[in-house]
Amino acid sequence: AQTVTQSQPEMSVQEAETVTLSCTYDTSESDYYLFWYKQPPSRQMILVIRQEAYKQQNATENRFSVNFQKAAKSFSLKISDSQLGDAAMYFCAYRSAQGSNYKLTFGKGTLLTVNP
């Protein structure tokens, strides 16, 4: 079974600075998807960024980028120019790309605080 580990329960960053959230996962599969979701106090999970395992290029979405290290099974999220609105719980998630195994497996989350 796949597992997702987020080793940082909490992180903080100064506004306008850069922060990196860590995520590692365990799988025996070669083809899969990785996600970072953001859950602000409104509780709505919002997809931040997605990475397909077969792509070597790291995904980027504006101020959000990932460092995907397939051999190391590592998938970290970098937030540049942090804004107050970035404060939220961040969840790393894994999904198989094989057949009917569509289940999203989530990590326990990292609570990000942005200090003004």
Partner 1 sequence: ETGVTQTPRHLVMGMTNKKSLKCEQHLGHNAMYWYKQSAKKPLELMFVYSLEERVENNSVPSRFSPECPNSSHLFLHLHTLQPEDSALYLCASSLYWDNTEAFFGQGTRLTVV
Residues interacting with partner 1, by CB under 8 A?
Answer: 4, 33, 37, 42-47, 50, 91, 95, 100, 102-109
Minimum distance of partner 1 from residue 19's CB (angstroms): 22
Minimum distance of partner 1 from residue 18's CB (angstroms): 26
Q: Judged by CB, which is closer to partner 1: 17, or 52?
A: 52
Minimum distance of partner 1 from residue 41's CB (angstroms): 10
Q: Judged by CB, which is closer to partner 1: 80, or 97?
A: 97
Calculate the alpha carbon distances from 17 to 52, 57, 100 in Å.
Answer: 27, 24, 41
Quickly list DSSP for 7-61.
--SEEEEETTS-EEE--EEE-S-SSEEEEEEEE-TT---EEEEEEETT--SPPEE
